[in-house]
Chain A
């Protein structure tokens, strides 16, 4: 399969990259590791006028610890992030999530942390060849007026599939974006729109520059759970991350996120509210499972490599396991 024709630019500074973006907006697409983008190009999901590679921009690859946060350059490779001492020290959950991504040789050495967050949401009716999609008919995401996975639906339900997404969300990460009007910082929790056809709150001229994870004020106990059909290569069918801080037997902080269900990761706030402030008990497990199933029922459609029913059930199972492991109840 061939790539579509495009102009290729590989600036060495962020400013140059932003300049091209300002001029061309969405017609210029960012290439980080390319492990998602190139496949999408070959399937003709996009054919931009210009491709801007971030590969030569050193400032986007930095990983550093400031007084209150771990700062990951969006262009840092997944392997670099996972092997960085500060990441291992403060957030082993992120290492676990990264270790589950794709295959070592391709996705982890080439793939970047920024690309993982901005991985195009997936759908079994969308991630197909041009011939396949054209013979099937258009959907919201390809310029049509319906959803092939859920007839009559008024928006797209494609799946946010990045393995680091629920983890970073459980760690209350923030994103730094640079664009026309300079830099802005936004909580990851507010980054997702919930609509597959335009999944993120990002402007066409913006580039993701950093992911900031606040350093915890006390040790975090955590869990990352994912279910896939094979232990390597496959995208998650569902994943879940939990982060907890227990002090003096009381749960001071708890966050439970399930993802790979629909266009946005889901924070189970209700579970968080019910559990916080008390000593963790096994009731938390049922609570997490029930909440996850209820949330999943509202977002999952039949558009993945497993059935809708199975994914809903498994959202419950993984939320339960993540809660159990993070709270030491397993």
Chain B
């Protein structure tokens, strides 16, 4: 068990940023104002696929109040991509526009009206090309090619095979193959995307924007702008949500920087809600075919999963996005023999990235199929999950050792507290209960940017400033860093300042994606604080004539353990250190213990993450069969987060996860399309849940004290977000006696399934969906 002697760690302390957020004092990028600042607007392609023959900007340039116009000519022909082998996006279109909304040109003008007016004066000659809007037509042999270098529009292909899959299938008692389809979803962060770039006389550029990794943004921009990294300074700013959608680099920051450099003025670009939806990132549509074989006890012996992902027009984080749905489930369930084929397919639609509940069709498919198998074998859903659940000390098929794992506890506790089995067996018409199980990584291998470093310096009054590269997207990272430093240094949180997420003044950090911030950045700050404390103890030990080993820092004092009254005030130690010429400067670094040789496509094997979180969620719902509307009644969610540094924040994450993963993610959230036009890019038509329909939520924190995490912590909330979708899906299915395989479960889909059910017999999915198949390699010409 953790040291329950902690003063702050493990306690529900209010967040340091809460007051600024609720009073509206917190400044977001769009709030920034600078003298002489210009406003930028982007001209977007009105075609889903078109060759750009000519861009005439002359009239726009002459408009009074316009200071600069940029087009593809200003990109120097560079293409950007997250990986060396996925560089496929020009940050302003040069030869082609590949989706409706692709950036073709941009202007900077004195105000928004003038900028909008100028866009109308840019004349672009397009040659419209045939376009493809779904993966089936995109992989057809005669489909138009979106990128010349990618035959059949296959952008990414991941193949993993471990064990003796075919042989294992032959030894199974039961083998099922089912297909699951999920539509595109979106993040709908409360803050639409915005960028401010400010170019200085020394050639450097400062940039503010919501981001999940300032250092990654700076690196990519320094390449694209051909500036030294030290000249591209990403600044800290309050961020209104990310959920995976702020991770990679967008044309917006490139365009804004370019305009600032051209005009030598600050430039601001604020996206509309529609632009935030179509021109940053959205979630993939995904088709998954699972073939699963079990023994007589329901233990899965082999699984083959084939996935097609609709990636939209560019690669983005494609190799990661293609692999992660599989990886989460090779963690969650122990399946010895696995084969995975993942294809990310280009279409003429907005670019897709990672999202908090990435892989709905994969995950919901796994649990729905387990329930189907359970029904055939007469085994209940809880047993099906327990029989297959990952246990600590095991190794995943692709070679990750799982040091800590509380999945069995999560399953057992959610089942018990929701009274799952009794409710599952007793059939109340139109009421259902379902369970989802999932697991996520805490940190992928990210090369040099996988690690995090931190510094701590002191003020003469004993207060301290923590300097860390970690960014806070709204999840509470700033608070986490301060809480850790305060615990280690024996200071109140109010006496700790934080400088973070600024690439000029803070050291590197992995970024707040892949659930690494607490594990990586938290560990680095903890080590920096330990280092500072050791320095303090050295000075204090001379003052107290005691052994540094026996000292304790608490309540702004340093004292010999057990004798708090005889201690010295911490400020005095700080000043003494200055007098002695030994100023206290803490340093800490942390690099997760992962296999750096592991690569998404080239070598998907080795330690993926140092730690993994696990979760189980139970949802209880009531369905109105006449309208297809679902009311979620109760949700019981449990996650092994290692150790809850701040239970208040962890529970908040769980609640948000249920809203996003289950309530929105499984019942409502999807994009609808009309030939490449997104029909619902706005808050009104994209159905994120409101507080009114949220169910009662019972959060259960499971702690396993991971040996590598700070105080044993891993990550908070992601496993609940993912497993909520699965729980809702299985619950609606249980209510109606239907195995759903097309998501989300909107009222009309539910109605449709009810109507089809009357015709069909046997244990079958609601819809016959064309399975995802292995795509044979293109014959060499």
Q: Would you call A306 and B272 a contact (CB within 8 A)?
A: no
Candidates B47, B679, B747; contact of A229 at CB < 8 Å: B747
Check: A233 CB closer than 8 A to any chain B CB.
yes
Beyond contacts A229-B747, A232-B692, A233-B684: 5 other A-B pairs, Cβ-Cβ < 8 A, are A124-B679, A230-B687, A230-B690, A313-B751, A317-B626
Check: B183 CB closer than 8 A to any chain A CB.
no
Q: Would you call B689 and A310 a contact (CB within 8 A)?
A: no
Interface residues in B76-133 (C-beta closer than 8 Å to A): 100, 112-113, 116
Check: B627 CB closer than 8 A to any chain A CB.
yes
Binds B, one of A70-78, A126-134, A189-197: A126-134
Q: Would you call A135 and B47 a contact (CB within 8 A)?
A: yes
Check: A305 CB closer than 8 A to any chain B CB.
yes
Closest-CB distance, A27 to chain B (whole angstroms): 20
Count of B residues near A, CB < 8 Å? Answer: 32
Check: A154 CB closer than 8 A to any chain B CB.
no
Contact code string A302-330 (vs B, CB < 8 Å = 1, else 0): 00011101100110010000000000000
Q: Would you call B747 and A306 a contact (CB within 8 A)?
A: yes
Q: Would you call A230 and B274 a contact (CB within 8 A)?
A: no
Q: Would you call A2 and B693 a contact (CB within 8 A)?
A: no
Candidates A5, A124, A148, A227; contact of B685 at CB < 8 Å: A124
Once A2-B113, A135-B46 are accepted as A-B contacts, the answer to whether A229 and B687 lie under 8 Å apart by CB is yes
Selected A-B contacts with CB under 8 Å, 19 pairs: A131-B46, A131-B274, A132-B274, A135-B44, A135-B100, A229-B668, A229-B746, A230-B668, A230-B689, A230-B692, A230-B693, A231-B690, A231-B692, A233-B684, A234-B684, A310-B747, A310-B748, A313-B751, A317-B626
Check: A136 CB closer than 8 A to any chain B CB.
yes
Closest-CB distance, A19 to chain B (whole angstroms): 30
Q: In the complex the two chains form, what is the Cα distance from A134 to B629 in whole Å?
A: 35
Interface residues in A1-54 (C-beta closer than 8 Å to B): 1-2, 5
Q: Would you call A233 and B116 a contact (CB within 8 A)?
A: no
Tell me which residues across on chain A come within 8 A of B628, comparing CB atoms. 310
Nearest B residue to A229 via CB reads: B687
Closest-CB distance, B121 to chain A (whole angstroms): 15
Tell me which residues across on chain A come within 8 A of B274, comparing CB atoms. 128-129, 131-132
Contact code string B673-695 (vs A, CB < 8 Å = 1, else 0): 01001011100110101101100
Closest-CB distance, B430 to chain A (whole angstroms): 15
Contact code string B34-77 (vs A, CB < 8 Å = 1, else 0): 00000000001111000000000000000000000000000000
Q: In the complex the two chains form, what is the Cα distance from A153 to B668 in whole Å?
A: 31
| Prevailing SS type, chain B contact patch | loop
Tell me which residues across on chain B come within 8 A of A129, comparing CB atoms. 272, 274
Tell me which residues across on chain B come within 8 A of A231, comparing CB atoms. 690, 692-693
Interface residues in B744-775 (C-beta closer than 8 Å to A): 746-748, 751
Q: In the complex the two chains form, what is the Cα distance from A129 to B44 in whole Å?
A: 13
Q: Would you call B748 and A309 a contact (CB within 8 A)?
A: yes
Nearest A residue to B42 via CB reads: A131
Nearest A residue to B685 via CB reads: A305
Q: Would you call B677 and A135 a contact (CB within 8 A)?
A: yes
Q: In the complex the two chains form, what is the Cα distance from A245 to B542 in whole Å?
A: 94
Tell me which residues across on chain B come within 8 A of A306, comparing CB atoms. 746-748
Contact code string A229-244 (vs B, CB < 8 Å = 1, else 0): 1111110000000000
Q: Would you call B693 and A131 a contact (CB within 8 A)?
A: no
Closest-CB distance, A192 to chain B (whole angstroms): 24
Closest-CB distance, B604 to chain A (whole angstroms): 40
Tell me which residues across on chain A come within 8 A of B689, comparing CB atoms. 230
Nearest A residue to B664 via CB reads: A230
Closest-CB distance, B355 to chain A (whole angstroms): 20
Tell me which residues across on chain A come within 8 A of B272, comparing CB atoms. 1, 129
Nearest B residue to A233 via CB reads: B690
Tell me which residues across on chain B come within 8 A of A134, comparing CB atoms. 46
Tell me which residues across on chain B come within 8 A of A310, comparing CB atoms. 628, 747-748, 751
Q: In the complex the two chains form, what is the Cα distance from A134 to B119 in whole Å?
A: 13
Tell me which residues across on chain A come within 8 A of B680, comparing CB atoms. 124, 305
Q: In the complex the two chains form, what is the Cα distance from A321 to B46 in whole Å?
A: 45
Q: In the complex the two chains form, what is the Cα distance from A132 to B116 in whole Å?
A: 15
Q: In the complex the two chains form, what is the Cα distance from A309 to B752 in whole Å?
A: 10
Nearest A residue to B43 via CB reads: A131
Q: In the complex the two chains form, what is the Cα distance from A230 to B680 in whole Å?
A: 15
Interface residues in A147-163 (C-beta closer than 8 Å to B): 148
Contact code string B601-632 (vs A, CB < 8 Å = 1, else 0): 00000000000000000000000001111000
Nearest B residue to A129 via CB reads: B274
Closest-CB distance, A102 to chain B (whole angstroms): 10
Identify the 6 closest CB pairs spanning chains A and B, nearest first: A135-B46, A310-B748, A231-B692, A232-B690, A232-B692, A229-B687
Nearest B residue to A2 via CB reads: B112
Tell me which residues across on chain B come within 8 A of A132, comparing CB atoms. 274, 677, 681
Tell me which residues across on chain B come within 8 A of A2, comparing CB atoms. 112-113, 116
Tell me which residues across on chain A come within 8 A of B100, comparing CB atoms. 135
Tell me which residues across on chain B come within 8 A of A314, comparing CB atoms. 627
Nearest B residue to A5 via CB reads: B113
Once A230-B668, A306-B748 are accepted as A-B contacts, the answer to whether A131 and B684 lie under 8 Å apart by CB is no
Q: In the complex the two chains form, what is the Cα distance from A64 to B684 in whole Å?
A: 35
Interface residues in B682-714 (C-beta closer than 8 Å to A): 684-685, 687, 689-690, 692-693
Nearest A residue to B684 via CB reads: A233
Interface residues in B140-193 (C-beta closer than 8 Å to A): none
Closest-CB distance, A130 to chain B (whole angstroms): 9
Q: In the complex the two chains form, what is the Cα distance from A270 to B631 in whole Å?
A: 35
Q: In the complex the two chains form, what is the Cα distance from A306 to B112 in whole Å?
A: 35
Q: Would you call B627 and A227 a contact (CB within 8 A)?
A: yes
Closest-CB distance, B14 to chain A (whole angstroms): 26
Nearest A residue to B274 via CB reads: A129
Contact code string B651-685 (vs A, CB < 8 Å = 1, else 0): 00000000000000000100010100101110011
Tell me which residues across on chain A come within 8 A of B692, comparing CB atoms. 230-232
Tell me which residues across on chain B come within 8 A of A233, comparing CB atoms. 684, 690
Tell me which residues across on chain B come within 8 A of A135, comparing CB atoms. 44-47, 100, 677
Contact code string B508-522 (vs A, CB < 8 Å = 1, else 0): 000000000000000
Q: In the complex the two chains form, what is the Cα distance from A131 to B46 in whole Å?
A: 8
Closest-CB distance, A307 to chain B (whole angstroms): 5
Interface residues in A195-253 (C-beta closer than 8 Å to B): 227, 229-234
Q: In the complex the two chains form, what is the Cα distance from A234 to B47 in whole Å?
A: 30
Tell me which residues across on chain A come within 8 A of B690, comparing CB atoms. 230-233
Closest-CB distance, B272 to chain A (whole angstroms): 6
Nearest A residue to B624 via CB reads: A317
Tell me which residues across on chain B come within 8 A of A309, comparing CB atoms. 748
Contact code string A99-125 (vs B, CB < 8 Å = 1, else 0): 000000000000000000000000011
Q: In the complex the two chains form, what is the Cα distance from A314 to B624 in whole Å?
A: 12
Q: In the complex the two chains form, what is the Cα distance from A214 to B627 in whole Å?
A: 34
Nearest B residue to A316 via CB reads: B626
Interface residues in A277-322 (C-beta closer than 8 Å to B): 305-307, 309-310, 313-314, 317
Q: Would you call B747 and A131 a contact (CB within 8 A)?
A: no
Tell me which residues across on chain A come within 8 A of B672, comparing CB atoms. 305
Tell me which residues across on chain A come within 8 A of B116, comparing CB atoms. 2
Q: Would you call B693 and A136 a contact (CB within 8 A)?
A: no
Nearest A residue to B690 via CB reads: A232
Closest-CB distance, A220 to chain B (whole angstroms): 26
Q: In the complex the two chains form, what is the Cα distance from A78 to B629 in whole Å?
A: 27
Tell me which residues across on chain B come within 8 A of A305, comparing CB atoms. 672, 680, 685, 687
Q: In the complex the two chains form, what is the Cα distance from A148 to B44 in whole Å?
A: 22
Q: Would you call B748 and A307 a contact (CB within 8 A)?
A: yes
Closest-CB distance, A47 to chain B (whole angstroms): 12
Tell me which residues across on chain B come within 8 A of A232, comparing CB atoms. 690, 692
Contact code string B734-748 (vs A, CB < 8 Å = 1, else 0): 000000000000111
Interface residues in B186-226 (C-beta closer than 8 Å to A): none
Q: In the complex the two chains form, what is the Cα distance from A136 to B751 in whole Å?
A: 31
Q: In the complex the two chains form, what is the Cα distance from A2 to B685 in whole Å?
A: 21
Q: In the complex the two chains form, what is the Cα distance from A176 to B535 in whole Å?
A: 83
Nearest B residue to A130 via CB reads: B116
Tell me which residues across on chain A come within 8 A of B747, comparing CB atoms. 229, 306, 310
Tell me which residues across on chain A come within 8 A of B746, comparing CB atoms. 229, 306
Nearest A residue to B680 via CB reads: A305
